[in-house]
Amino acid sequence: MDYVEIFEVGPRDGLQNEKRQIPTEDKIALVDLLSGAGFKRIEVASFVSPKWVPQMADSAEVLAGITRAKDVSYAALTPNLRGFEGAMAAKADEIAIFGSASEGFSKGNINCTIAESLERFQPVADAANEAGIMMRGYISCVTDCPFDGPTPPDKVAWVAEQLIAMGCYEISLGDTIGQATPDTIDAMLDAVLGVAGPDMFAGHYHDTAGRACDNIEASLKKGLRVFDAAVGGLGGCPYAPGAQGNVATEAVHDRVTALGYATGLDRDILEKAADMARQMRAGE
């Protein structure tokens, strides 16, 4: 049976947008529950400015408090060298640099142009490569930007090429505001697949318009087999107006299972984790 990997990003992308400071022990409990669900990779932390994203300020404590499962890689976002050093001190298993295919979102999210962001990522990439740490790359706004409108597919392909040249082992393609359609995903994938094969790419689709699973289906047809998702459909990006949650892990599991793919995930644990995530959002 063909296999689809779901990369769980709930503890990071799902929770980063919550206004209420979620207690560190609740985040740890969520990660510990997810660790038994069968994921290979879980994004649990983000070493960014606490002024920009206060919810992620306890990332080191979360990484210190979780009970690590042997076969799970615990990932962290690192926008610059300082973030990389924080992630290494906290023993993140892998890191991610995160850029954008649109100038408006790059400015809004990381306060620099796309070209400047690539300059900032280079020393992070050098340090990760030197340390032998796996590095993933994110590209936001791969089809639509809340500031600049539609994103030209060639721009996504160009940024992907730069991130791959820096040593990223996989590029996660972000529909940050959940406005993509199967057609715009198709056009974007045609462009990026000119740069590298489908095994180099993951879909990271937010579900604002309720089309994320359809966009995953379109991506499966192009050969992608890795999708980011958050239990309970939590999340959003604080610097993307109108962005809503990631597609729910349990919804992706159900859709790809119905299409005949195995995920290796325990559906009961996913349900429990989704309940826990929803309670966190509700402030219970």
Q: Which residues are catalytic, by number?
A: 237
| Sites for Mg ion among residues 7-46 (CB under 5 A) | 13
User: Of residues 42, 44, 45, 53, which one binds ligand HMG by CB under 6 A?
Assistant: 53
Shortest reach from residue 260's CB to ligand HMG, in Å: 28
Give the shortest CB-75-to-ligand HMG separation in angstroms. 11
For the record, the structure tokens of 112 come out as 């620099």
Cβ closest to ligand HMG, residue 49 vs residue 257: 49
CA distance 225 to 122: 28
* Nearest distance from C-beta of residue 268 to ligand HMG, angstroms: 27
Q: Which residue is nearest to ligand HMG (CB)?
A: 174
> With binding defined as CB under 5 A, does residue 175 bind Mg ion?
no
Biggest alpha carbon–alpha carbon distance for the chain: 47
Q: Smallest gap, in angstroms, from Cβ of residue 210 to ligand HMG?
A: 16
Taking the complex as a whole, the smallest distance from the CB of residue 229 to Mg ion amounts, in Å, to: 10
In the window 138-167, what residues touch ligand HMG (CB under 6 A)? Answer: 138, 140
Q: Does 237 bind ligand HMG (CB under 6 A)?
A: yes
Which C-beta is closer to ligand HMG: that of 109 or that of 215?
A: 109
Strand partners, 139: 99, 173
Say if residues 124 and 78 touch (Cβ distance below 8 Å): yes
Site string for Mg ion, 95-114 (x = CB under 5 A): --------------------
Which option in ligand HMG, Mg ion, none does residue 245 bind, with CB closer than 5 to 8 A by kind? none
Chain-centre distance for alpha carbon 268? 23
113 lies in the binding site for ligand HMG (CB under 6 A): no
Select the residue interacting with ligand HMG from 83, 153, 203, 233 (CB under 6 A). Answer: 83
Nearer to ligand HMG by Cβ, of 34 and 247: the residue is 247
Measured CA to CA, the distance from residue 114 to residue 125 in angstroms comes to 16
Q: Least distance (Å) from Mg ion to the CB of residue 70?
A: 27
17 binds, among Mg ion, ligand HMG, none (CB under 5 to 8 A by kind): none
Number of neighbouring beta carbons within 10 Å of residue 183: 11
Task: Determine the Cα–Cα distance for residues 7 and 278; give it in Å rounded to an integer.
Answer: 19
Q: Which residues contact 33 (CB under 8 A, 6 or more apart)?
A: 269, 272, 273, 276
* Sole window of 44-52, 67-75, 217-225, 274-282 interacting with ligand HMG (rule: CB under 6 A): 44-52
Query: Which residues of the chain form contacts with Mg ion (CB under 5 A)?
Result: 13
Query: Which residues of the chain form contacts with ligand HMG (CB under 6 A)?
Result: 13, 16, 46-49, 51-53, 77, 79-80, 82-83, 86, 98, 109-111, 138, 140, 174, 176, 204, 206, 237, 239
